[in-house]
Every structure is written in C-alpha cells, then in structure tokens.
Amino acid sequence: MKIPSRIALASALGLLLACAAEPPNPFLVQTDAGPVQGFAPEGSDDIAAFLGIPFAQPPEAELRWRSPQPVPSWAEPVQANDYRPICPQGRAQLPQSEDCLYLNVWTPIDRTGDEPVPVMVWIHGGGFRAGNGRLGDAPETGRGAGLARRGVMVVSIQYRLGALGFFAHPALAAEAAASGEPEGSHGVLDMIAALEWVRRNAAAFGGDPDRVTIFGVSAGGMAVNTLMSTPASAGLFHRAIAQSGYGTWRLPHLSEARWGLPSARDQGAALIAEAGLEFGNEPSTDDLRSVPFEKLNALGTGFWVPITGDVLPDEPGIVFARGEQHDVPYITGGNSFEGTIFRAFTMTPGDYFATFGKREGRARALYGADGETDADAERIAAATLFGDQRYVISARYLAEQMKTVSSPARTYYFQFVPEAQRETFPGAPHGSEVSYVFADPGDPDSERYPGADGAALADAMAGYWTRFAATGDPNGDGAPEWPEYDAESDTWMVLDAPKAEATAGLLKDRLDLLEAVYLERVGGK
C-alpha cells in the first residue's frame, strides 16, 4: 500500500480545515427527501425563505381520495423560490392543480446558535373550499418573513379542499373498508402529513421539532380544533391557537344521520346524482376519479367541513368535554363582528332568529332586534348573533372544557377597527386579526394595520403569539398580563387599541344563551 507523503497529508488537512471553516449555506438545506435551495425575501438579510417544498405525492389519479403518500427522494436541489399551484377551488385566479401538497418555510438565517427556534405552522381558512398557503401575493415578499424576524420558524401548508378533501361516498366507503384506509376527511390527513414533515425536517431549518405550534383562522381555526381532537395527530404539535375556529357547529357523521344532517356518504351520493354526471347514480371509484376537478369544485354550495366518525372521532366540542383532546396549551378566540360571514348564507335575518324557537325573544333582546327595528339594524343584529354562535361561543366552550386536561387555555376577543373603517363595520370583521398576528417588526407603519394604535396592537399581538410558541405562555416583555381561562372568572384578553386588557364576564348573557342552545342540541355531552 502506498503511504501518502507529508506534503499530501498537509494539503489534505488544509483542505479539510478550510471546508470546516466555511460557514454553512443558509439557503441550501437537506431535507429527508433531498436538498432544497431557498432565497432571501425582498428586503431581508436575516431570513431564508423556501417556497413550494413537496410534503406528499400529488393526490391525483389513483391517489385521489387516498391518504397522502411520501414523496420520492431526489438528488439535485429543488429550487424552492416560488409558490406552487393552489389546491382546486371555485373561481380562484391563481393556477390550480391536484398536485398541490406543498408547504412554505420562512426561518431566521442565523442558525449557528445552540438553541433551535420555535416552529409555527399556519393553516389557512376559506371554509374548507378555498384558500391557500401563500403568505403574500409575490414570492419575493410575504408575511411569513415578518413573523420569522421575531425568532420563529414559520411554515404554511396547503391541503385538499371541497369535494377532494372532505367528501364521502358509498363507492369510496367500500374501497376504504377493503384497504383499511381512513375515509372522508383527506384534507385533515394532508395537515397531519405536513406536521409529520415538520417533525422530521424542522431541525434542518433551525426549528425545534419539540416546540411546534399550530395556528389558523376560520376553517384553519376549525382545523386546529380538529387536530386537537383526532388521535392521529398525537405528538405532532405542542401548542395550539384557534382563531375564529368553530368547534360547536354541526358536523356530518360518516355513516349516520345526526343533528338533522344526512350521513356524509348520503350527502356525497346526492351531490353526485344532482351533478348529472354521465355515469349515473351508482358510480364506481374509477368513475369518480375520472371526473375533472373543475366539476368537483362545483359540487355543493357554501362551506365544506370535516367529517366525524373516522379521522375525527366526534365534534371538537364533544371531544373536549370528554377530556379526549390533546393536552397542550391552547389559545382560542374570536372577533367582535364575525357576522361578515353571514352573507355567505341564504337565510334571512328573520328566518335565522326563528331558528332559536322558544329562545327567539331572548335572542332578539340580547342582540338589539326586539321591538321597532329597521331592516338594517335587524340584519346587523342577526349577523352579530350568527358570528357569535359560529365562532365566539366555540372559543368560550372549548376553553372551558380544557379543565378536563392539565394544560391551560386562554381566550381573546379582537375588537379593533381602524378609524377609516368604523362607518362600514360595527365591529372587527371576520379574519381581520390575521394581519396583526403577522406583524412585521421591520415594517411598523404597514398599511395592513394603519395608525399608531394599530401598529402598537399588531406588535403586541405578534408578541403574544410568538412568546406562546416559544414557552406555552404568551406573557412577558412587559405586555399586559393575559390570565388563564376558567369559567368562574370568565376572563378574556380584549385585543384593542390603544392597549390590550383582560376583561371578566365578556358577553356573558349572550354566550350563556348560545351555550344553552348548543348543549340542548348535543344532549349535554
């Protein structure tokens, strides 16, 4: 065997030392499937962004209505510098494809310290039939970078929507029974697959896989409550924030008629029959998979929702009351005029009040629609009641049921409306808190939260959210104290300007009425 000369050994040692001294490239990260090449967002010298990372195979053709499958590995770096197509949905202007199971990452560049950063996984809203994982209109910018500047790794995900993500049918039921696959809520399975990706890969991006917070708004908030309630997500996250997440709303059961709703399978069969597709009323699984997604987008009107009975054992309110939710710190809340969502439903204000039956008079009195009321006032009253029944009572009820586990809950009520919008909205519209949560410390005067009061509130909210992600407690940095929730004190953090303030007994009479209506429906479960 030839022995290397001293010169050769010295040269090799010098090369090794040079390589060791070279700092790692923060924009080139090795995932468990292969390398990804990121970039610096516009105006950011402290953040690396990675857009369009696949976390599952395209759920199309034979993989439609099946559990998400692992992606094949790759050798050359994937150029993660642009958003990928959004999941199929209605009339969206962005490119759509069933090949849509991608996620995006924004993370601090300095990943040389000993302490990995907390991870915050954003789940978008849109009634489970719309929305996407983009945090900004252009790939060069994005709210994810702003939040990451506060010392967290931000991940936004996409999941199957509408009939592709929340659909059941007798033909698919037979196939699932034969294969042993979960049935019905494939959009939720996509979320779980994304969280599994985070657990495997967060450390490579500087994130802490043992400090993962899920947070989302509207359907995304409901997704948080769903993930809190399904055993399939156990161990994948460690804190949860449900922003306007409904958890006490009726959900269809996979195979049973409940709460006045037909089973999800019967609903699916009816939707296919009504669509007048050429294969008739008893399609095979091949028939269903042959339908272009554009036609599936048109099925049904209004929102889609998770299906109970398989992926989700029961409605979140029922799961929480049984103490079967995941035992992690939990924040939940709603806005002061969630009723902007009321216009998405065809019910008139009078018809909606009538659904309260013997409690209609009480509901009208509490919401200012009794006696002589003009049409505009009745509409605003009904919309406010609707928003409270869909979102705010869910927050209070689920927070109260966290007494069944050891982790604390906290509730918030967002009511800030910029001065220019106060003649348009009687309170903070549904979803309006999101921009404040994603406040960018490098852009305190952003028009997303206008005025000095709005900028201060945005800074406070983003601080609460990121401290919670770091420690499980939103308090600190001199912010007003946010107490844990308990039914006796009924204390909420009211998020408003010029400052946030803890307030006891918020909307107590209204929410007591709505809780009584809910408990009557579920039999006190």
What is the tens place of the pLDDT at every residue in 283-328? 999 999 999 999 999 998 889 999 999 999 999 999 999 999 999 9
* pLDDT score, position 183: 94
* Cβ proximity of 409 and 332 under 8 Å: yes
- C-alpha separations of 474 from 240, 478, 481 in Å: 12, 11, 9
Is pLDDT of 402 > 70?
Answer: yes
pLDDT, mean of residues 371-400: 93
Q: Which residue has the higher pLDDT, 279 or 123?
A: 123
pLDDT of the residue at 525: 55
Q: What is the model's pLDDT at position 282?
A: 85
Q: Confirm if 232 and 219 have CB atoms less than 8 A apart.
A: no
Kindly report whether the peptide bond that precedes residue 283 is cis, defined as omega within 30 degrees of 0. Answer: no
pLDDT at 302: 83
CA distance linking residue 104 with residue 142, whole number of Å: 11
Distance between CA atoms of 249 and 397, rounded to whole angstroms?
A: 12
Of the pLDDT bands very low, low, confident and very high (cuts 50, 70, 90), residue 8 is: very low
Pairing of strands 409-414, 330-335: parallel
pLDDT of 69: 98
Does residue 478 surpass a pLDDT of 70?
Answer: yes
Q: What is the pLDDT of residue 264?
A: 97
Sorting pLDDT into bands at 50, 70 and 90, what band is 475? very high
- Go through the domains of the chain in sequence order and give each one's CATH number: 28-195+209-222+239-314 (3.40.50.1820), 329-525 (3.40.50.1820)
Name which of 83, 109, 47, 155 is nearest 442 in CA terms.
47
Q: What is the DSSP string of 298-317?
A: TSSSS-----BTTTB-S-HH
Question: Does 276 or 112 have the greater pLDDT score?
Answer: 276
pLDDT for residue 1: 39
**What's the whole-number mean pLDDT along residues 9-18?**
42
Residue 419: predicted pLDDT:
85
Q: Is 108 helix (H, G, I), strand (E, B) or coil?
A: strand
Neighbours of 330 (CB within 10 A): 28
pLDDT band at 93 (very low <50, low <70, confident <90, very high): confident
Which one of 9-18, 270-279, 417-426, 509-518 scores highest in mean pLDDT? 509-518
At 48, give phi and psi (nearest 5°).
-110, 135
- The whole-number pLDDT of residue 447 equals 55
Q: pLDDT tens across 153-193, in order?
A: 999 999 999 999 999 999 999 999 999 999 999 999 999 99
Q: Helix/strand/coil (H, E, C) string of 225-276?
A: HHHHHCHHHCCCCCEEEEECCCCCCCCCECCCCECCECCHHHHHHHHHHHCC
d(CA 72, CA 425): 49
Residue 455 has a pLDDT of 85
* Overall average pLDDT of the 56-85 stretch: 97
- 43 pLDDT tier (thresholds 50, 70, 90): confident
Q: What average pLDDT does range 328-353 have in this prediction?
A: 93
- The pLDDT value recorded for residue 143 is 86
Residue 10 confidence (pLDDT): 41
pLDDT surpassing 70 at residue 9 = no
Q: Any idea which of 5-9, 121-125, 369-373, 484-488 has the lowest mean pLDDT?
A: 5-9
The residues that are catalytic are 218, 338, 430
Contact between 253 and 309 (Cβ < 8 Å): yes
Average pLDDT rounded to a whole number, residues 211-226: 98
Among residues 44, 171, 158, 34, which one has the least CA distance to residue 96? 158
Task: Check if the beta carbon of residue 215 is closer than 8 Å to that of residue 241.
Answer: yes
- Given this model, what pLDDT does residue 451 score? 67
pTM of the model: 0.94
